[in-house]
Amino acid sequence: MIVGWIARIIAGLYSNRKPGEVAAAVSTAVVLTLVPGANLLWFALFILIFFVRINQAVALVFVAVLAPFSAAADPWLHRIGHAVLTSEGLTGAFTALYNVPLLPFTRFNNTVVMGGLVAGLALWLPVFFASRAGVMRVRLHLIPALAASKPVQMITRIPLVSRLAGATRHWISVYQAVR
């Protein structure tokens, strides 16, 4: 089961025809990790991962990897959220939104939640373009160089690793058949 998940992640990184799908997954994961959990906004963003055309495995891995570091950003997110929530021009809009049913459950009136949303949306495009360039560079240069190296060829002779490689080839063919 774990071998299958690892194979899906590797296949997702290598087989998607469009690097933008992987980059969008990374960008969405950044937004999701900057918004604190346990509110309706976080769950809506999480569910969005499964309804848009991005690589879900990559998004979930990046959420898991980035989540421990998100608490370090809270002081900056608090400042951003406080600036947005106390701005004169938006006070009436936030009051109206708070009176809409279910919207208070998003906790948009929390400074860290608002700061995380604003910072995540502001970072989405830069992270997208940076990760897209990274995916293209990995696919063009790093993966072929690693596959041709002697240590990797020795490691692929290990039975568990050969199973992982076979599962990865299977998921790559599945991804390519779906497209």
Cα–Cα distance between 13 and 7 in angstroms, integer? 10
Start-to-end Cα distance in the chain: 24
Percentage of the residues of the chain whose pLDDT score is greater than 70:
86
* pLDDT tens digits for range 29-83: 999 999 998 899 999 999 999 999 898 888 988 999 999 999 999 999 999 999 9
* pLDDT tens digits for range 158-177: 888 778 777 777 777 776 66
Would the pLDDT of 124 be above 90? yes
pLDDT for 163 = 80
Would the pLDDT of 134 be above 60? yes
Domains of the chain by residue range: 2-178
Contact predicate 111/35, CB 8 Å: no
Contact predicate 39/105, CB 8 Å: yes
